[in-house]
Amino acid sequence: MIVETAYRWRVALMAVSVAALAALLRFANLGSPQALVFDEVFYARGAYSLLTQGFEGEWGGENQDFASGDVSQLSTDGDYVVHPMVGKLLIALGMQMFGPTPFGWRFMGALLGVITVVMVAFIARHLLRSTLWGTVAGVLLAVDGAHIVLSRTALLDIYLTFFVVAGFALLLVDRARTRRRLLSADAVVTGLGPRTGVRWWRLAAIVSFGLATGVKWSGLWFAAAFLLLSVIWDWADRREAGAERWFAGGLVRGVAAFVATLVLLPLTYLATWIPWFRSPDGYGRDWAAEHPGEGVTWLPDGLNSLLHYHQTAYEFHRTLDSPHNYESNPWLWIIQYRPTAFYFEDVVDVDCGADRCVSAIHAIGNPLIWWAGAIVLAYALWRIVVRRDLLALTVATGVLAAWLPWLPYAHRTIFTFYTVAMAPFLVLVLVWGLSRLAQPARLAGRWWPPGAIAAAVFVSATIVVAGFFAPIWIGDPIPFGYWQLHMWLPSWV
């Protein structure tokens, strides 16, 4: 009876269990350390300025004054910032609810991190048609260190990840609905194939990608990759439906989606700048008025000023080449070769059972997930090229969109923690590989005992490794010697 009830409620149990695990690792002691961790110095303070002044003002004083509750150093002079404000507005929402405290400025990242884990579980369940594999995907992302650390700090990348995963999920809903219409259509499938009506879910996905771009411009790469993937899905589904001109039919709808993207995504992105348009004290707000005849003069002054702002910000990003202890080569991101240390301090007021106690936060992805994921990704790429495996392409696209665009910028000052946007999709690749190992195609979905045992052992080992690494993902005080045991590679120190 209990087993039957559990089976009947298996989807709800999946969602609740992975959400609970993710929440435990993201909300536990979230207000610690009582300090601005790594780049929180930019984004938490910028968010507070948006909340209180409506624009990002310059800060004086010491960086850590803000963490101590001193907000008197905020000025009314606009601060030059090089990232859009959606992520900072969400950080500000957390401070609106809980005040300008570490818990307040980290709350929304932790919440959206948990929601992302649940979304990935449902995505995997849909793609692999299995609640069990959906649960595995949710568990693996829940115990990934890169995702945990970024969920627990007020940086922008977790918000980028949330909107990218949401956009991908919306495209999957769009495909499911459109595919159902194509395969069950009463219309004759001659010509371009059956009409599918307005693709509202695809339009919603475009809005989500616009919001991702409003967090960081790298959201554009995901938009391009996933919208192209949705056209490939269309071609495959129209061909399966028997449309005589399946390629032309998919292309026509793809052109329509491209036009919609050219309109909807920029409008969404522009809407995220409304606080800047409404704040005359924002940095560069009056540039056009102060430089008559410069820029794109046929644009209204506000848009001309915004365009100039973006030109200078792009130049900043393009030429950023300042040496940093934790800068990393993107070619090695997939194996987490040089992860970012967010925080490291000696702790003197806590007895950890050793002469030297430290609190450390390292954005190290769970090694088993990333190292095994790199191997499965290589297999997925082989399947794509040799077997034209559409499911392999579906799960691998997000990894490639998060990784390949950075490779030409290996000379720039960039960091491994950017891979948090890759983590959900690497998990999908890994779980796809585990499912093929445990349920090989040659057995038509039946379980292969050796493969199932290997998959179960791997997932169990990943959870054990997560328990070992959790203290340096969360920042719990630990003996210095225990911290050293986590530095598996010399490049991690």
State whether 314 and 214 are in the same domain.
Answer: no
Calculate what percentage of the chain has a pLDDT beyond 90: 80
Q: How confident is the model at residue 468 (pLDDT cuts 50, 70, 90)?
A: very high
Contact 422, 369 (CB under 8 A): no
Q: Which amino acid is at 350?
A: V
Residue 182 included in any domain? yes
Tell me if 361 sits within 8 A of 342, measured CB to CB: yes
Tell me the average pLDDT across 164-170.
Answer: 98
Describe the crossing of helices 219-241 and 390-403 by its angle, rounded to 10 degrees.
Answer: 170
488: Cβ contacts below 8 Å, ≥ 6 apart: 367
What is the pLDDT, as a whole number, of residue 9? Answer: 85
Q: Mapping DSSP to helix (H, G, I), strand (E, B) and coil, where does residue 255 land?
A: helix
pLDDT at 380: 98
Tens digits of residue pLDDT in 410-466 = 888 899 999 999 999 999 999 999 999 999 989 988 999 999 999 999 999 999 999
* pLDDT-derived band at 10, boundaries 50, 70, 90: confident
Which of 264, 293, 319 terminates a domain? The answer is 319
Residue 186 pLDDT greater than 60, yes or no:
no
- Whole-angstrom Cα distance, residue 170 to residue 157? 20
pLDDT tens, residue by residue, 114-155: 999 999 999 999 999 999 999 999 999 999 999 999 999 999
Please indicate, yes or no, if residue 412 is contained in any of the structural domains. Answer: no
In the predicted structure, residue 188 carries a pLDDT above the cut 60 = no
Is residue 185 very low, low, confident or very high in pLDDT (cuts 50, 70, 90)? low
pTM of the full structure: 0.96
Rounded Cα distance between 474 and 148, Å, is 8
Domain membership of residue 297 (yes or no) is: yes
- Are 183 and 263 in a shared domain? yes
- Same domain as 291, residue 261: no
Is 183 part of any domain?
A: yes
**pLDDT given for residue 349 in this prediction:** 84
Q: How confident is the model at residue 2 (pLDDT cuts 50, 70, 90)?
A: low
* pLDDT single digits (tens) 295-321: 899 999 999 999 999 999 988 888 877
Peptide bond into 33 cis (omega under 30): yes
Interior/surface letters 354-392, b for 16+ CB within 10 angstroms, e for the rest: eeebbbbbbbbbbbbbbebbbebbebbbebbeeeebeeb
Q: What would the pLDDT profile of 273-297 be if each residue is shown by its tens digit?
A: 999 999 888 999 999 999 999 989 9
CA nearest 196: which of 234, 236, 247, 242?
Answer: 234
Work out the pLDDT band at 353, boundaries 50, 70, 90. Answer: confident
pLDDT of residue 280: 87
Averaged pLDDT of the chain:
93
Asked, for residue 430, whether it belongs to a domain, the answer is no
Quick one: 209 and 281 in the same domain? no
121 part of a folded domain: no
pLDDT at 193 over 70: no
Domain span holding position 165: 156-272
Domains in the chain: how many in total? 2
C-beta of residue 395 within 8 angstroms of C-beta of residue 428: yes
Residue 309 within any structural domain of the chain: yes
Kindly report, residue by residue over 202-254, the tens digit of the pLDDT.
999 999 999 999 999 999 999 999 999 999 999 999 988 888 888 988 899 89
Same-domain status, 279 and 188 = no
Same domain, 205 and 245: yes
Dmax (CA) for the chain in angstroms is 79
Please indicate, yes or no, whether residues 236 and 289 belong to a single structural domain of this protein: no
**Do 254 and 283 sit in the same domain of this protein?**
no
Residues 160 and 190 in one domain: yes
Q: Is residue 475 part of a domain?
A: no
Contact 189, 248 (CB under 8 A): no
- Based on the fold, state whether residues 160 and 268 are members of the same structural domain: yes
> Of 272, 289, 305, at which residue does a domain stop?
272
59 SS3 class: strand
Q: Are residues 287 and 180 in the same domain?
A: no
Query: What one-character-per-residue DSSP string does 380-435 give?
Result: HHHIIIII--HHHHHHHHHHHHHHGGGGGGTTS---GGGGGGTHHHHHHHHHHHHH
174 and 242 share a domain? Answer: yes
